[in-house]
Structure formats: C-alpha cells, structure tokens
Structure 1
C-alpha cells in the first residue's frame, strides 16, 4: 500500500542516521542552536559530504579507505533488515497497530546487528564524526571518543548500532581540539572487533593509537 510504503521509507531514513529532515523537533532545534553557525545539521551523514568538494585521500597506502557499510556483517546491514521486513509491512492494513510492532522488531534487530569479524586486525581509514568521551583540560584536546557516521549521534541524537560505532583512542598528542569537535575527521589505524560499553553508547569496534586528520580543512578551495 502507498501509505505503508511511505512509512517504510521514513523508517529507512530514520535508521540510516536520523536524516536532516528528522532533526526538526523543538528539542533538537534547541540543541542545534548551541552549535557553531558553520556546524553540520544534526543528523548529517558522513556520506553526504563525500564528493561534495571536501578534501579526500587515496584509497591506497598503509591505511586503505573503507566505507561504513564494510563494518556491517553481510546479511545483517540496514538494507538487509528493511528488505526482510518489507513484505510484512506491505501486508499490514493501513493504520493497523501491527505496524508499530513490526517497526519495533526492525529497530531491535538493527540495534543488535553484529559486527563484521572479517574486519578484525585490518588497517583502515574511515571518515566520521566525533562524540567525545574524554577531554584533556590542560590543552583542550579530545581524548578517547566514539567515531559515528552521522553528526550529533550519542549526544544530540540516538546512537548508531554496535556495528556502526567505534571507540577511538588517539595517539598521544595527535587528537583534535574541542573547538573543532563538530567537524568531520579521518581516523586511521588497526581496527579490532571488540565491544566496549561507554557512558555515551556501546561500541562494537576499537582503534587504539589512531591517527586523526580533519576531513575538510577550513577555507579549503580544493575542488
């Protein structure tokens, strides 16, 4: 049905990173007002910046670039879960309370989606946003943080699933200043499939001694 199809699309957008259109309620608008004027909109996905003129690097070298989808276990990614439940949604009459039950199942399955064991021990380079866990007050630098695929995750918006959340421990003196915490970054290092509970969210991966680079330098005019 048309209505059910629209419901599915809306659910897809929400699960794929709280797209910009979903970050419009009063609470989120209030939190957004505290961010710098040039900060991304809450819910902006890192994929939206790819190819938009931001500085990128080669996929070759010691740390090959990967995509966030590579962290999902094949068959258990967002698109796989939506396809699995789509026939059920299509079969539910419009307005039936069963719709909500199916959505809850989809949400629960996404939240518990397993990590991809094939990624363990690989050297990778991945772009994303920073959700700080620690701050070095002596120099205003970010310490440990969660790398997430959309802006505001774990702080202003719900956290991603385990398979889309990385605990990052930067190399000593190689992190970023808190004044730039709203900017996307590149994280390079050896990834481990190791689950960790933090005060913000649970992470399914960890990178220790990570190298951090800004994804887009201020005033960069590179096409």
Structure 2
C-alpha cells in the first residue's frame, strides 16, 4: 500500500486514521550524545507498506515450491538449497520507488556492534528476521545508512525510517537487501 502525501489518496481505503497518525509528534532518536527529542513533519514522506515493495507476480512461496528439498539428501539437497538461495537474494524490486522520499516501518537488524547506536542496519518487516529465522527475500530487506549513529533502544519494537529510497542491492553476511535508504529520520513508531 502506498499513500500519496500530496493527494492524500491511498490504494487501500481502510486506512482512514493515517492522517491522524501523520499529524502525531514522534520521538526521534538522534545519534548524538544521549539522543534527543524533536518534532517531526512526517508529511514530507510517502508511507510505503512492505507488500508494495514486492513486484506484481513475484511470490517467495513459488521459489520455495520450485526447490522442494524434502526428499533430497546430502549433496543434491545442498545444491537445491543454493539454487533457491540465489533466487531469494536476487528477488526483483519495484523500480518506481527509486529516488522517492518515503517512510517505512520495520524492525532493526544491526550490522555493526554499536552498543545500541548504529550507523547502518537492515530494516525488515518482522521481528527476528535474519537473526532467529532466515532472512526474507531481498525485496523485503532495506539497507539503512545514516550519517550519524542512531540510538535504537529496543530491537523488538518497530522503527520508522524516512529518507530517499534507492533500488540498490547490498549483500551482507546476514542477508541481501534489494533496497537502500539514506536515513534522514529514524524513530520508534508509536502508532503500533
């Protein structure tokens, strides 16, 4: 789902309360000493929901079915798993998002050992992805880069990230991302 901030139209009509949520003041977690709080004008950013980042016709379930490894053993199984993984990490993206000013809510997966202050991290649609469960397809992973270290108090809470979204992929040990965002704002999302 995408909400156009200029026309206030949405592709799903059941989101009537978002105008109110956009007007709310959020606590923004800055990377300076001890963090700080400022009011944020979320109106500058189009809200993007995770399903909108998946191109029409792409389904991760189809990849999983195509490489069913349930009856395979040893080398044949490993070969099929590697083929499946290669499709998973190169999942297609929605090119129309390239260069758009957006905000996306998700869960933080740290990429550096920053003791709760991070300059880069992955944003994923559900808690525990890449750490406790395998990563989602790359079109459901956003690499977030910030000019300053950002204080993330609780990795089990959703964070809203805003900035310019790019369709640039990146591969890390934990996961591959299909999108990159240069974070202007990172905030605990109090709407949930």
In the superposition, the TM-score normalised over structure 1's length comes to 0.55
Q: What is the aligned counterpart of 2:128 among 146, 152, 159?
A: 152
Residue-pair matches, total: 147
* C-alpha separation in 2, matches of 1:199 and 1:151: 18
Deviations 1:137-171 (A, max 9, x none): 5xx41221000011111111100111000100134
Tell me what 1:205 maps to. Answer: 179
1:116 to 65, 80, 94: 94
Match of 1:46 in 2: none
Structure 2 residue runs without a partner (length 5+)? 1-14, 24-41
1:190-222 CA distance string (max 9 Å, x none): 0001111112111111111331010138xx9xx
Q: Which residue number corresponds to residue 151 of structure 2?
A: 176
What displacement does 1:76 show? Answer: 1.2
Give the structure-2-normalised TM-score: 0.62
- The aligned counterpart of 1:74 is 56
* 2-structure distance, mates of 1:201, 1:192: 17
Q: Give the deviation of 1:110 after TM superposition.
A: 4.9
Q: Which structure has greater helix proportion?
A: 1
Closer, same or farther in 2 for the Cα pair 1:156/1:56, shift >3 Å?
Answer: farther
Please identify which structure carries the higher strand content.
2
- Which residue of 106, 113, 129 corresponds with 1:128? 106
Q: State the Cα distance separating 1:111 from its structure 2 match.
A: 4.9
Q: CA deviation at 1:61?
A: 2.0
TM-superposed deviation, 1:113: 2.2
Q: Aligned partners of 1:97, 1:133: CA distance in 2, in Å?
A: 35
Cα distance change on mapping 1:130 and 1:205 into 2, 3 Å: same
What secondary structure is seen at the aligned counterpart in 2 of 1:69?
helix
Identify unmatched segments of 5+ residues in structure 1. 1-49, 90-95
**Residue aligning to 1:37:** none
Kindly report structure 1 stretches of 4+ aligned residues shifted beyond 3 Å. 107-112
Q: CA RMSD in A?
A: 3.5
**2:168 corresponds to which of 191, 194, 209:** 194
Q: How does 1:1-223 map to 2 (within 5 A)?
A: 56-57=21-22, 61-78=43-60, 81=62, 109-137=87-115, 140-173=116-149, 175-177=150-152, 179-216=153-190
